[in-house]
Amino acid sequence: MEFPFDLAPVLGDRFCVVDQHLRPAGRRGPTHRGDLEQQLRTVIDELGKASAKAQGLPAPVTSATRMEANRHVLYILRDAEGRGTPKGAVIGFLKVGYKKLFLLDRNGAHNEAEPLCVLDFYIHESLQRHGYGRELFQHMLQSERVEPWRLAVDRPSEKLLAFLHKHYGLADAIPQVNNFVIFEGFFSNRPAPPRRPPPKRPEEEIKPYSLSERDFLREETEPPWPFNLTSGRVGGSPVRGSLRPFLLRRETPDGQTDPRPPDGRTDAPQHRRARWAALFYFFFFPQ
C-alpha cells in the first residue's frame, strides 16, 4: 500500500511498533512533529479501512482514534527497500492487546483470563503468499514473548484460521460463547488467578455493648395513667403503694386468705366499696 509521503520518517525501520501514544518512529524535532503524527494517523486509518474491506466488515476495527482510546499495540511491516516506489510502501499490520475474558475449557467450565488477543491482521492483497504474514506474526510473538497457542483470536476469518493451522498447527479450537477463538493448549500450565483478600475493616474501640443496646437496658416501661403520676411532677400525685392491703380478705378453713367477697360475688356492693376505698387511700394517703 503506497502513500503520497515518505514513510521512512513516519515508520522508521522495517518493523514499526505503535501504541496508544501514536508516536512516529522518526521524529526529527518539534518542527516536524505535527506533520509526522498526522501522517502516522493517515497510515493507520487507511490500513484499517483496507482490512475491513478485505474481511467484509461494515466498519473498520482499527483506526487512530481507537488506538488512542485503548491500550493496543500495532505492528506495521513496511517495504524498507522501496521496491516499486521511491517513498516505500506498507505491506501489512497486526494489532494485538490484552483483554479480560470469560472462556470455556473442554469440560465447559468458565475461566476468567486476560490473554493477549489478536484483534486485526491484514496483508495487502498483492503481497500475500510471499511469507510476509508469517514474518510479521513471528516478530510479534518474539516481541510479546508468547506462544501461539496462548493467544485468543477475535473473529478470525477463514484465511486467518488457515494461516494459523498451516504455520503453527492450531486446528483444534475450543468452542466459545463469545467471538473469540482459542485452541488446544490454551489452559495448559496456566497459573490460577491470584485471590485478593477482602479489605480490612478500620480498627474500632471494642465495646461490650453498643450504645443502642445500653440505652435500651436503661429504659423502663412507664405504667399507664394515672399510675405514672409522681410527686415530682407538677399537679401529680404521690408515688403509688400496693393496693393489696386495702382489699377485703377472709380466711379459709385451711388457714389461707381468700380475697373474694364473703358472698362469692365479685360485684357485691361491699367489694366495690372496698375497691373505691383502696383507690381513695392510694391517692390521698400514700404509704
Binding positions for acetyl-CoA = 121-134, 157-166
Binding region: 121-134, 157-166
Q: Where are the beta strands (DSSP E) in 81-216?
A: 89-98, 101-104, 110-113, 116-123, 152-154, 173-174, 180-183
In angstroms, the CA 119 to CA 164 distance is: 14
In angstroms, the CA 167 to CA 233 distance is: 99
CA end-to-end span of the chain:
113
Rounding to the nearest 10 degrees, give the CA dihedral for residues 43, 49, 55, 60.
Answer: 110
H-only helix segments in the chain: 8-11, 30-55, 64-69, 132-144, 158-168, 211-218, 269-284
In angstroms, the CA 94 to CA 72 distance is: 10
